[in-house]
Structure 1
Amino acid sequence: MFNDFEAVLLWLKKNNIRKKAAVAAAHDLDALTSVVAARREGILESVLVGHGDKIRNLLTELGEKVDSWEIIEEKDDAKAARITAGLVAEKKVDMPMKGLLQTSTFLKAVLDKNLGLIAENALISQATIFHYRQENRLVVVSDCAINVAPDYGKKLKIIQNAVELCHKIGIEKPKVAVVAPLEQINPDIQATGDAAMLTLANLRGQIKGCIVDGPLGFDNAVSIEAAQHKGIESKVAGSADILIMPDLASGNILDKSLRYFAGYQTAGVVAGARVPLIMTSRSDSAENKLNSIVMSVLQSL
């Protein structure tokens, strides 16, 4: 099991694993810093799609030989995203990466049914992986960026995507906390009912490869002391590997809180597609973008 992002990177390097990405709207310092770092680490080659002059100037600032990079000129974000998705569909690269463009523009291109990057009836979901320093382990939070108000059916698929991701990390039977504002079922709060149904579905074998429990408050999901104080007996409470959030708003706020308040290292990945989608926030640091690349390369294996 990998305890942090550095351990994943070292394992990829040790096993000589290298993939190739296409970066849409690559004219961004943090995005380029991360792909340059990934190249120097020997885990990723990249095709850079975007404002050619800006890309070349940034590469020069980063100490790179510009002529050693493949650059495709396209100043229009939507067209750059379509070029990037097309390169993946044609198997010229292994995965697409979002640069300095809107998430909706990126997703519209990669979700084009004609390209076949998404299986029929599949649901893609975003997952933020953070290094929980206090316990030196990786924890997955989903969904923080794609599914706005998932119902029971979508949450079931979000769990399945997150469980597959945890299996890649080396967590054989991840503990899944379905997070809600309170631990009791309240008919006025959909998240509590969804959590109870997902827990039952897991007990009946409809959700496999993990242990699901909920509804659990965020405090009970991550703190054994909080769970004990409230008298909660659970195999998941206090030691969750996966936190399933009630909706995008709560997931997105937690994601940013982990980075800006707690200062945790994070990685943002997308699961559920036929290939990894490297989709980070435009405000993400170069370090977190590199973590996202590292985890996406691992995800592709």
Structure 2
Amino acid sequence: MSELSQCIGPDGHEKFRRLVEAAQEYPAATTAIAHPCDEVSLESAVQAAKLGLIVPILVGPQARIREVAARATLDITPYEIVDAVHSHDSAAKAVALVRAGRAETLMKGSLHTDEVMGAVVARETGLRTGRRISHSFIMDVPNHPHPLIITDAAVMIAPTLEEKVDIVQNAIDLAHGMGVSDVRVAILSAMETVNPKVPSTVEAAALCKMADRGQITGAVLDGPLALDNAISPEAAAVKKIVSPVAGRANVLVVPDLEAGNMLAKSLSFLAGADAAGIVMGARVPIILTSRADALLTRLASCAVALLVVASRRADAAAAMV
């Protein structure tokens, strides 16, 4: 049995398996892991390293990290450890490694999301760019032909139209980094017609026009679309919606965090979907997983981050020619 099959099992999870295998074609991404001080986060780092997805730099209280490794019988001798006093210090030092050019990605360990993201968005010492930061779930849904990107279900609570432009562009860039050449973005609402009484439909129409005018690039957009006619060709046909996106969307942009969170969790708990998580819009992709996530989810998140890094490496190399 291969190392990958030993980690995620021999059956199922085919979309995530293909993501990991695609990522393994590239050199591993040096990854600053903020506060890997429990067995789940440390095991994830070690397994991702064994699969060739990351080269971990473990940032946290050195004694605690070594204690966890000993308890879980994990060999961390090949990996650098940057000592930190506590979780906030771990986040700050992990971000500092990225700013210094020593790490190509950042990964959340066993600390709270707001601790690591607080370090990321700090104005003077963080990883801000000219674009807003947003989160995407990459969903492996059984019986669906391709992975679905759902955004934003974790960072932007009630995004404005201006913020949704960055959310959409971040998701498009993520899809391209994953190797998706035909990115089809559905701007979701409760209906597929523009209704001034439903603001999400008006914003969907505006986003599509912005794409027409080159303010959003790299994908074809359509919206408003209801979820059924965004992902089901049969539903789109019944509603007589003719577009390159309807029924074939691979990126779903939700109206707000609550809608996105419920959609992602419904797919996970009712349809048995797996969900990886990546934050885009910062200087580097950020692997933002829950402490309750399975090993498969963490490995898939690392794979997606490596694919994005590999795409950026290629762009940087091309720019130097």
TM-score (norm 2): 0.86
Q: Aligned residue for 2:281?
A: 272
| Structure 1 residue 75, shift from structure 2 partner | 4.8
**2:95 is aligned with 1:89:** no
**2:120 is aligned with 1:110:** yes
**2:151 is aligned with 1:142:** yes
Q: Pick closer, same or farther for the CA change 1:172–1:69 going to 2, 3 Å.
A: closer
Superposition pairs for residues 1-301 of structure 1, below 5 Å? 4-15=15-26, 17-115=27-125, 117-119=127-129, 121-301=130-310
Cα displacement string for residues 238-292 of structure 1 (whole angstroms, at most 9, x for unaligned residues) = 1101000100111112222222222212210011122111111222212101111
1:207, 1:94 → 2: CA distance?
A: 26
| Structure 1 residue 116, shift from structure 2 partner | 5.7
2:59, 2:233 → 1: CA distance?
A: 47
| Structure 1 residue 61, shift from structure 2 partner | 4.3
Q: Pick closer, same or farther for the CA change 1:233–1:77 going to 2, 3 Å.
A: same
Letter in 2 for 1:126: H
Instruction: Please identify, of 150-159 and 130-139, the stretch whose mean Cα deviation from structure 2 is larger.
Output: 130-139
Cα displacement string for residues 121-156 of structure 1 (whole angstroms, at most 9, x for unaligned residues) = 311110111123323312211111111111111111
The answer (yes or no) to whether the contact 2:23–2:304 under 8 Å persists in 1 is: no
Q: Pick closer, same or farther for the CA change 1:221–1:108 going to 2, 3 Å.
A: same
| Structure 1 residue 55, shift from structure 2 partner | 2.4
Q: Pick closer, same or farther for the CA change 1:74–1:146 going to 2, 3 Å.
A: same
Q: Could you say what the CA RMSD is over the residues aligned between the two structures, in angstroms? A: 1.9
| Structure 1 residue 89, shift from structure 2 partner | 0.9
SS at match of 1:176: strand
Letter in 1 for 2:18: A
Segments of 5+ residues of structure 2 without an aligned counterpart are 1-13, 311-321
Letter in 2 for 1:34: S
| Structure 1 residue 53, shift from structure 2 partner | 4.0
| Structure 1 residue 37, shift from structure 2 partner | 0.9
| Structure 1 residue 42, shift from structure 2 partner | 1.9
1:13, 1:192 → 2: CA distance?
A: 40
Segments of 5+ residues of structure 1 without an aligned counterpart are none
1:148, 1:14 → 2: CA distance?
A: 36
| Structure 1 residue 51, shift from structure 2 partner | 4.2
For these two proteins, the number of residue pairs brought into alignment is 297
The answer (yes or no) to whether the contact 2:43–2:74 under 8 Å persists in 1 is: no
| Structure 1 residue 31, shift from structure 2 partner | 1.6
2:191, 2:44 → 1: CA distance?
A: 39
The answer (yes or no) to whether the contact 1:60–1:66 under 8 Å persists in 2 is: no
SS at match of 1:135: coil
Letter in 2 for 1:231: K
1:60, 1:71 → 2: CA distance?
A: 15
The answer (yes or no) to whether the contact 2:46–2:76 under 8 Å persists in 1 is: no
Cα displacement string for residues 104-133 of structure 1 (whole angstroms, at most 9, x for unaligned residues) = 2111101223236222x3111101111233
Cα displacement string for residues 152-194 of structure 1 (whole angstroms, at most 9, x for unaligned residues) = 1111111111111111222223110000111222222211110
Instruction: Please identify, of 265-274 and 64-73, the stretch whose mean Cα deviation from structure 2 is larger.
Output: 64-73
Q: Percent identity, please.
A: 35
